[in-house]
Amino acid sequence: MNLIIDVGNTSVKVAVFKQDKVVELAFFDKKRILSEVKKIVKKYKISIGIMSSVALISKMKLEKLQKTLKLKLVSSKTKVPFVNLYKTPKTLGVDRIALVVGAVKNFPQKNVLVIDAGTCITFDFVNKESEYLGGAISPGILMRYKALKKFTSKLPLLDKKKPNNLIGDSTIESIHSGIVNGVVQEIDGVIEQYKMKYSDLTIVLTGGDTIFLSKQLKSSIFANQNFLLEGLNEILIFNENK
């Protein structure tokens, strides 16, 4: 069995894979990463794992994790089953690397656009030749709500909510309409731009806001909240077989 660890900006997501199937899935705060990983490793007697992190983890915690199991850390130097044509490969986020691997694994010889709707909204495109061309980065839904609160003196911080109407009839409804409709129109618009260039486009939506957004988008998509974890598992398998 493989242990897959995704350290995000807000929390840690962990999965236990048996080959390519998820056996257990867990979420917790970054402060608990060491204790929670030890519990899972002991429960399933896991010896190998992989971790991607877009947040800082102390050197001490990292060393303790590596003593718990054989742990591979994803970086720009990690061997992957695609050709990276990004002009600044060292700056490409490890989460985006994993998403591209997931696309290549699940949709071989396809043009794939992966949209990760989390803290940030990222767009990553890999063509049918398994060449990664790049994509885009945009503020996520929660970030947009927080920005309105932070950079104004009177607007409130709200929890995300699908707007009742396009035309907001109150300040609260106007915020929901502006943010949520703005994100939906942005994603739909980007998809249409890609479709104009690649008519045979496969679209994957993943990330924390997958369920919230999936039914609001016009385009036909594959919604998979665990897509990044699947990509990490494939990176581990790919490197173990080298």
Instruction: For residue 145, say whether it is annotated as part of any ligand binding site.
Output: no
Instruction: For residue 122, say whether it is annotated as part of any ligand binding site.
Output: no
Q: What tokens were used for 99? A: 């998403």
Instruction: For residue 169, say whether it is annotated as part of any ligand binding site.
Output: no
CA 239 to chain CA centroid, nearest Å = 21
Instruction: For residue 171, say whether it is annotated as part of any ligand binding site.
Output: yes
Angle at 198 between CA 192 and CA 199, to 5 degrees: 75
CB atoms within 10 A of CB 214: 15
Instruction: For residue 94, say whether it is annotated as part of any ligand binding site.
Output: yes
Measured distance CA(107)–CA(44) in Å, rounded: 30
Of the residues 20, 29, 95, 169, only one is catalytic, namely 95
State the greatest distance between any 2 C-alpha atoms of the chain, in Å, as a whole number. Answer: 60
Q: Are 157 and 145 in contact (CB under 8 A)?
A: yes
Instruction: For residue 95, say whether it is annotated as part of any ligand binding site.
Output: yes
Instruction: For residue 12, say whether it is annotated as part of any ligand binding site.
Output: yes
- Using CB atoms within 10 Å of the CB of residue 123, give its burial: 0 to 12 exposed, 13 to 18 middle, 19+ buried: buried
Q: Establish whether 124 is a catalytic residue.
A: no
Instruction: For residue 96, say whether it is annotated as part of any ligand binding site.
Output: yes
Measured distance CA(8)–CA(20) in Å, rounded: 22
Instruction: For residue 7, say whether it is annotated as part of any ligand binding site.
Output: yes
Binding region for substrate: 86, 93-96, 171
Give the active site residues.
95
Binding region: 6-13, 86, 93-96, 116, 119, 171
Binding region for ATP: 6-13, 119
Binding region for K(+): 116
